[in-house]
Structure 1
Amino acid sequence: MGSIGETTLEIDLAALENNFRYLKSKIDPETKFLAVVKAFAYGSDMLAIAQKMENLAVDYLAVAYTSEGVFLRESGIKCPILVLHPQPANFEELIQHNLEPSIYSPNLLKQFLQFMEEQGKLEYPIHLKFNTGLNRLGFWENDVDFIMEQLKNRNEIKAVSVFSHLAASEDPQEKEFSQRQIRSFQKISEHLNGKLRYTPFRHMLNTSGIINYPEAQFEMVRSGIGLYGYGNEEKVDQNLKPVASLKTVISQIHRIEPNESVGYNRAFTSEGFRTTATLPLGHADGIGRHYGNGNAHVMVKGKEAPIIGNVCMDMIMVDISGIDCKEGDEVLVFGPNRSAEAFASSAQTISYEILTAISPRVKRVIINS
Structure 2
Amino acid sequence: MVKVGRIKLGSQGMEVSTQGLGCMGMTFGYGPPKPEPDMVALIRHAVESGVTFFDTSDVYGPHTNEILLGKALKGGTREKFELATKFGISYVDGKGEIRGDPAYVRAACEASLKRLDTDCIDLYYQHRIDTRVPIEVTVGELKELVEEGKIKYIGLSEASASTIRRAHAVHPITAVQLEWSLWSRDVEEEIVPTCRELGIGIVAYSPLGRGFLSSGPKLLENLTQDDFRKYLPRFQPENLEHNKTIFEKVNEMATKKGCTPSQLALAWVHRRGNDVCPIPGTTKIENFDQNIGALLVKLTPEEMAQLESFAATDAVKGDRYGSGMATWKDSDTPPLSSWKAA
* TM-score, normalised relative to structure 1: 0.36
Question: Which is richer in strand?
Answer: 1
Larger radius of gyration, structure 1 or 2? 1
Higher helix proportion (structure 1 or 2): 2
